[in-house]
Structure formats: C-alpha cells, structure tokens
Structure 1
Amino acid sequence: MYTNSASRLLLFLGTALTLRLNQALKGDDRERGDVPGWVMITLMSATLVAFILVMAQEYLGAMFEAAMAKVNNP
C-alpha cells in the first residue's frame, strides 16, 4: 500500500533533483556561490523526511492514538 506511493514520491523528487542539478551544472554564472549545493542538500533532506513519514505513517498514528488514550483515561 505505502510502497507504491513512496516509490512515486521518490521518483518525483529524484526527477526534480536531477533537473535542478542539470540546470545548475550548465550555468556559467560564478556569482551564484554554492546555491546548487544547498538546493541538493535541502531536496535530499526533504526526500528522506517524506520517505520516512510515508513508511512510518501507520506506526506514528498508532503511537499518537495510544498516547492520547493514556492522557484521556488516566
């Protein structure tokens, strides 16, 4: 169930990252600094967070429900 959506998300983010890196590598503007490096790090971090959330969504929901049950019923 989650594998299909996770693979689609990773494919989308990987494609976006590839396109952005190609644009950055083709540019001859040296005044941009290290922006492409930061963009890559940000996209990779976002991809990891999204992947972890998709894979652990069921477990995180169960943990939240258990915690709320303990708070509501001492």
Structure 2
Amino acid sequence: MRAHRYLTSALTALAARVKGEDPERGDVPGWVMITVMTAALVLAILIPFREAIVDAVTNALTSVTTGG
C-alpha cells in the first residue's frame, strides 16, 4: 500500500508541474506510463516469488564469499 500511495502522490505532483509547460518538451504521459507499468511488473514478479529470489541471491552471495 505504501508504494501505491507514493506513486499516486508522485503522479499527482508531476501532473500539476507539467501543466502549462512547452508541449515540445517531450511525451511526459508516455514515460510516466512506462515507469508505472515497470513498477507494477516488478511488484507482480516480486510478491509471489519473494522467498525464492531472496534464497537465490543469498545462495549466490554465500557461494562467492566462501569460494565455492
């Protein structure tokens, strides 16, 4: 829920800032949509596979630090 609140407030602040700016500056809604969709995909992957990801990273770091 904290991520959702953060994204909502960030998007609201960005939308308020973008109003009235030069339209030649770039496609702000496009990159905002890509950023939000990327964050959603990361959360969609991380939530169900969190334990497996943590175990894999821990095993990899242990393997590197112990030398085998």
- TM-score band, normalised by the shorter chain? 0.5 to 0.7
Counterpart mapping for 1:62-73 below 5 A: 62=55, 64=56
1:39 counterpart = 2:24? no
Unmatched runs of 5 consecutive residues or more in structure 1: 1-6
Q: 1:18 to 1:44 in 2, by over 3 A?
A: farther
Unmatched runs of 5 consecutive residues or more in structure 2: 63-67
**Structure 1 moving runs of 4+ over 3 Å:** 65-68
More contact order relative to length (CA 8 Å, sep ≥ 6): 1
What is the aligned partner in structure 2 of residue 4 from structure 1?
Answer: none
Deviation at 1:29, TM superposition (A): 1.3
Give identity over the alignment, percent.
47
Q: Normalising by structure 1, what TM-score?
A: 0.51
